[in-house]
Chain A
């Protein structure tokens, strides 16, 4: 008999054995096991617990939960590149899992506040950044119910909406109109030194736009540790000459300060953390690090 025939014969024997055992169980000939009169009603009851698959989908939206935060050595293992949509936000149902590190003793979830928010802000992994237009982010909406709420209190449908976009690695062109150090916050364990605070970088579509229409983009201490960026460098090469800037980073939603909309920001969507800053100099994009001298 050929090896393939031998495998078929073995498989048939297993099937016969399983059939005999199933018949014996059904007839109640196997002591110690609950009989069919006990098990079958329970299986039928499962159908009443979950009325339909469609109903189950409304409870568990078909959107990946990016908040698993498992360490991941490579940025995007097995993640297909996002489908291009000509400058719009790509459809990216499977997002890279954030990778975080403890920085100067500060764990990635920070020292309080909303740990889920802090874990997202403290990611350090690089992504396959999708080129998108400024308008694609500035025009993105959000459910009003998520404003000023910790993520653990979001409704599932609201969470699903945000997570459809949050965690997409993007690269956007625009202008930096203002940048400054932020203050102590739970994300960075309330550190007060310059190397322990975020920078707020106001990013606009046009060189002379007001920050009331800006997208807030933020550099974090953990990412800056790998760069030579300084506020002075940003001012000298991006803000004062109003040179075109290209920012790469992670699309992120910050629900904390809706009161600033139309005042110091144009949207609650952010690029946070910034992973790369490039300035358009002499006809080419130059990483800010190269301008540090």
Chain B
């Protein structure tokens, strides 16, 4: 039986970077590479990265309640 699932990941990355350097672009690229690098360890699963984008929503932050 062929199965499929769509996952929503919520990651938080921190690291050192130059202040003006585009941290969002470089960290998104890094996560893409992490996923692509790890995918061959699970050849039975076909991975498609549909989108990775920054979550700018800190307004209703459940992990950081007031």
Contact = CB atoms under 8 A, between A and B. Distances in A.
If over half of B's interface residues share one DSSP class (helix, strand or loop), that class is named, otherwise mixed; here it is: loop
Interface of B: 14, 17-25, 54, 56-61, 64-66
Interface residues of A, number: 27
Given A182-B58, A257-B57, A107 B64 contact: no
Nearest to A216: B59
A185 B56 contact: yes
Interface SS of chain A: helix, strand, loop or mixed?
A: loop
Contacts of A191: 19
Contact of A183 (B22, B25, B61): B61
- Counting from the closest, the 4 A-B pairs by CB-CB distance are A105-B19, A183-B58, A180-B66, A112-B22
Nearest to A190: B23
A202 B57 CA distance: 15
Nearest to B63: A183
A190 B27 CA distance: 11
A145 interface: no
Nearest to A182: B58
B27 to A, nearest CB: 9
A179 interface: yes
Interface of A: 104-107, 111-113, 178-183, 185-186, 189-192, 200, 216, 256-257, 260, 263-265
B22 A111 contact: yes
Contacts of B60: 260, 263-264
A39 to B, nearest CB: 49
A181 B56 CA distance: 14
Contact of A189 (B19, B57, B58, B64): B19
A180 B64 contact: yes
